[in-house]
Every structure is written in structure tokens, then in C-alpha cells.
Amino acid sequence: MSATYSLDDLRQKLQNSPYKCTHQRRVVLEVFVNNPGVHLSAEEVHDILKQKSADIGLATVYRALELLCSKEIGILQKIDFGDGCSRYELNLTEPNSHQHHHMICTNCKKVIEFSEDMLDDLEADIMKKCGFKVTDHQVKFFGLCEECRNEIAN
């Protein structure tokens, strides 16, 4: 189940963390609030900020992203879609709930989110057989999206 947060809520979460709510961190956060559901790389965040005439370096963007996705703050989630480029998105899940999953088209590189979590039985089986308590997981499916399948079929 996902929660909805306003920019003010997310700023408050950052201010309540042990870290300062700097201008640079706020403007990086605003990029994600203004681009909901988009999986952005550090370079893409930097490009968006440059277009807005924000005076922030790429290294500062990287540091802000890493801090915003740290366990202490957890506002962002860091994701690797298998192409060697880390991407980030707002972490809008309730505490103690699983993240959504991603389907990545190997042809057009589109990323589609999938919310339904069907792994509860598997997690219970892992706990029973191995004594390992799963607290979270990330699932990525690679294949062809409907549009690419249709293009290939025609």
C-alpha cells in the first residue's frame, strides 16, 4: 500500500532527520515531487536542475541522492535496472510494507511498475525452511512490453 506525501511532508521528514535540510537537498527532492513515478538518474536530476538555473554540481546531486535514500531518511529508493545506471524514485510505501516491482522492456527500456505482491507464501516458506525472516525484497522482470511485442509481431 502506498502513501501520499506533499512536498511539505517530505521536507518535514528531511528536517526531522539527523541531517540538515539544505537548499541543495530541498531542490533535489523537489525534482522528484515534480516528476512523480519517474525513475531518474543523478545526471537526469542534474540536467533538470540546470534547466531551472539551479547552481548545483553533479557531485552535490549524487551526495544528496545517496543521503535521501539512506535508511535514516528513506525518502528516495535507489534502483538498478540492470544497465549499470542507478536510478532513484520517491519512496511512498508505508513503513514495513514491500516496495512495488518493476518490469523492464529489454527492447525500448520502458519501466513499468507492478504493485501486486505475490511473494508472501514464498517468504513464509523461506522462514519455515531456512529460519530467515525476509523484511523486504525487490523484483525486476525483464522482457518485452506490449508495444514492442506488437511491433515485432507485425
Which residues face 76 on adjacent strands? 90
CA distances in angstroms from 32 to 90, 101, 141, 149, listed in the order given: 6, 19, 24, 31
Is there a binding annotation on residue 108? yes
148 labelled binding-site residue: yes
Rounded Cα–Cα distance for residues 96 and 63 (Å): 26
Q: What is the DSSP letter of 83?
A: S
Largest CA distance in the chain: 56
Contact 102, 113 (CB under 8 A): yes
Give the type of residue at 82: G
Is 98 labeled as ligand-binding? no
In the numeric block, which cell numbers belong to residue 152? 515485432
Numbered residues of the known binding site for Zn(2+): 105, 108, 145, 148
Which residues are documented as binding site for Fe cation?
A: 137
Residues of each annotated binding site: 105, 108, 137, 145, 148
